[in-house]
């Protein structure tokens, strides 16, 4: 890494990068400790929409990661902020586990004026999607917590929320407001929470070549692509410019980063 | 209609135009008889993917329409021709009722090399879509029987196959080969079967502003939009150029057309 970057902050993806399901990636716990021993500022930025911040926090602690709740920045809480700020009455296509972060926004009278799509495997069915279609055709606004294509599960790659957002966009002839990665606003809000104004002085580490690496690099951050989680051979060819670095896993990314300081 | 068009052929949509579910649209049976009394050539062109040609034929006859089996031109049979011509081994996401038209193309050994998406409400579920996603990521070809956005059912508008095609295109980062309306090749093949070489001498009557009217008009045919089936107020504003005529129903379209001859 060029010293001219003067790295001050690191944004780190969670699922697929720090851990895959209920297992930390090799050496990740110790690597995070090494990273904390530097004076770099850290934020954990995640498009996970299925679990609340508290749930993510508890899981990371159980896997041995030293982390604070307010270091976690999620697309779910960003979506919730938007709903409250704009006083929306949303139809929430989000997992029950995520409803904790939404508080009482789902308590309102009358017809929903918006459709919020998260990762809700058990709600991605035709009756629910038809209901959303009809609301959108009647003028409801479409909000995507993120547009991830797919994610890794123990039974193989599974559809993320993005494909269902595209389904609804096409069906109703509308365009979604997207909240999470790879949106510039999302990365900027995370950096702002660290008092970092220049993205050029920040690094993003993640397993999603488009949402993590591509999104960060659009903002002129340096993107590290890890070969864990949803990574598939050839992913690095899918974006332009190419990832700043491609490494085996989070621990390798940390070693490379520390070496370059 | 300008006499300079010298109309020789009429392409007619089925569901939503000649009938809505199990009811003929007002005066449609008699209107078809009046149309047959002219020397215009007729073809019934449909994106219905759920039912076989024989099923469509039987239903139309039961509703009182005078029609021959070989007057029906469907996206399903066009897809089937493609599969046979290119010797594909398809994963068929089509309704069981449609399998009749597919014959033995679903009998093969080994892994599918293509995913064919029709209208299969009971197969539009996550396990099936995840299976399709994995095949596409491994290089299978995506074929869309058509890309209809939604269709009318007794319980309201429901998602058509198009949104599910868009879902898979986005998820796997691929582009589908589309068979049915509004594809130029589909209209051209229908006209060719009537020995009509110049689309300018043909008319299309349908309830889908994009797939019927817009598609036909891209080929320089005259498009009649009927206000039955999936028509919703304002649909006529969704395409450019605007529909050639907007009429209450199929019978009105026929009257207007005959008056203009």
Task: Indicate yes or no: CB of B171 within 8 angstroms of CB of A156.
Answer: no
Please state, rounded to an integer, the average pLDDT across all residues of chain B.
Answer: 92
A26-60 as b/e: b if 16+ CB within 10 A? ebbbebbeebeeeebbbbbbbbbbbbbbeebbebb
Q: Which of A171, A173, A214, A232 to mutate against chain B (most B CBs within 10 Å)?
A: A171
Please give the domain boundaries of chain A with CATH numbers for all domains: 3-39+54-60+181-251 (3.40.50.1000), 76-178 (3.40.50.1000)
Distance from CA of B36 to the nearest CA of A (A): 36
Q: Which of A50, A151, A167, A182 to mutate against chain B (most B CBs within 10 Å)?
A: A167
Rounded to an integer, the average pLDDT of B143-162 is 89
Which residues of chain A make contact with B233, given a CB cutoff of 8 A? none
Question: How far is residue B12's CA from residue B212's CA, in Å, rounded to a whole number?
Answer: 9
Task: Indicate yes or no: CB of B133 within 8 angstroms of CB of A173.
Answer: no
Distance from CA of A130 to the nearest CA of B (A): 6
Query: Which among B172, B163, B20 is positioned nearest to A124, based on CA atoms?
Result: B163
Cβ-based burial of A162 (10 A; exposed 0-12, middle 13-18, buried ≥19): buried
A96 or B19: whose pLDDT is higher? B19
Q: Which two tokens stand for residue A28?
A: 């990740």
Task: Indicate yes or no: CB of A134 within 8 angstroms of CB of B157.
Answer: yes
Residue B170 is predicted with a pLDDT of 97
Residue B2 is predicted with a pLDDT of 45
H or E element, residue B61 = helix B53-62
B108 or A35: whose pLDDT is higher? A35
Residue B212 is predicted with a pLDDT of 96
Which residues of chain B make contact with A162, given a CB cutoff of 8 A? 170-171
Roughly what angle, to the nearest 10 degrees, separates helices B161-172 and B126-137? 40
Rounded to an integer, the average pLDDT of B221-250 is 96
Question: What confidence category does residue B185 fall into, taking pLDDT thresholds of 50, 70 and 90?
Answer: confident
Which residues of chain A make contact with B168, given a CB cutoff of 8 A? 163
The secondary structure of residue A150, as a DSSP letter, is E
Task: Indicate yes or no: CB of A157 within 8 angstroms of CB of B133.
Answer: yes
> How many A/B residue pairs have CB atoms within 8 Å?
81
Residue B9 has pLDDT above 80, yes or no: yes
Which residues of chain B make contact with A166, given a CB cutoff of 8 A? 163, 166-167, 169-170
Residue A2 is predicted with a pLDDT of 45
Residue A4 is predicted with a pLDDT of 67
Residue B28 is predicted with a pLDDT of 98
Question: How far is residue B133's CA from residue B173's CA, in Å, rounded to a whole number?
Answer: 10
Question: How far is residue A75's CA from residue A206's CA, in Å, rounded to a whole number?
Answer: 15
Picking from A160, A166, A232, the nearest residue to B166 by CB comes out as: A166
Residue B20 is predicted with a pLDDT of 93
Q: Which of A80-89, B64-73, B110-119 has the lowest mean pLDDT?
A: A80-89
Regions of chain A where pLDDT drops below 50: 1-3
Say what the alpha-carbon torsion angle B50, B53, B57, B59 is, to the nearest 10 degrees: -20
Task: Show which residues on chain A lie within 8 Å of chain B, measured between beta carbons.
Answer: 121, 124-126, 129-130, 133-134, 137, 149-150, 156-160, 162-164, 166-173, 232, 238
Q: Which two tokens stand for residue B95?
A: 């309704």
Task: Indicate yes or no: CB of B164 within 8 angstroms of CB of A167.
Answer: yes
Query: Per residue in A137-163, pLDDT tens?
Result: 999 999 999 998 998 788 889 999 999
Residue B43 is predicted with a pLDDT of 97
Residues A120/A141, Cβ–Cβ less than 8 Å:
no
Question: What confidence category does residue B51 fall into, taking pLDDT thresholds of 50, 70 and 90?
Answer: confident
Question: How far is residue B134's CA from residue B143's CA, in Å, rounded to a whole number?
Answer: 15
The CB density around residue B120, as the number of other CB atoms within 10 Å, is 21
Q: Which of B171, B175, B235 to mutate against chain A (most A CBs within 10 Å)?
A: B171
Task: Indicate yes or no: CB of A157 within 8 angstroms of CB of B124.
Answer: no
H or E element, residue A52 = none
Task: Indicate yes or no: CB of A171 within 8 angstroms of CB of B163.
Answer: yes
Question: What confidence category does residue B155 fall into, taking pLDDT thresholds of 50, 70 and 90?
Answer: confident
């Amino acid at each position: 890494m060029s010293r001219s970057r003067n790295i001050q902050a690191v944004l780190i993806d969670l699922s697929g990068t720090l851990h895959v399901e209920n297992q930390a990636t090799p050496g990740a716990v110790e690597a995070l400790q090494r990273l904390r021993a530097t004076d770099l500022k850290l934020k954990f930025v995640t498009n996970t929409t299925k679990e609340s911040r508290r749930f993510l926090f508890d899981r990371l602690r159980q896997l041995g990661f030293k982390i604070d709740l307010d270091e976690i920045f999620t697309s779910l809480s960003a979506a919730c902020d938007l709903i409250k700020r704009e006083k929306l009455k949303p139809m929430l296509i989000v997992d029950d586990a995520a409803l904790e972060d939404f508080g009482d926004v789902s308590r309102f009278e009358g017809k929903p004026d918006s459709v919020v799509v998260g990762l809700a495997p058990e709600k991605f069915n035709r009756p629910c999607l038809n209901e959303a279609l009809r609301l959108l055709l009647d003028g409801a606004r479409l909000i995507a917590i993120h547009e991830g294509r797919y994610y890794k599960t123990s039974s193989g790659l599974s559809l993320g929320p993005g494909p269902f957002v595209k389904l609804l966009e096409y069906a109703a002839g509308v365009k979604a407001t997207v909240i999470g990665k790879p949106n510039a606003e999302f990365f900027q809000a995370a950096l702002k929470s660290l008092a970092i104004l220049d993205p050029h002085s920040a690094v993003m580490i993640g397993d999603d070549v488009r949402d993590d690496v591509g999104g960060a690099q659009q903002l002129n951050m340096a993107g590290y692509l890890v070969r864990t989680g949803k990574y598939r051979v050839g992913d690095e060819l899918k974006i332009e410019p190419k990832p700043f670095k491609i490494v085996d896993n989070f621990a390798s990314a940390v070693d490379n980063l520390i070496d370059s300081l």
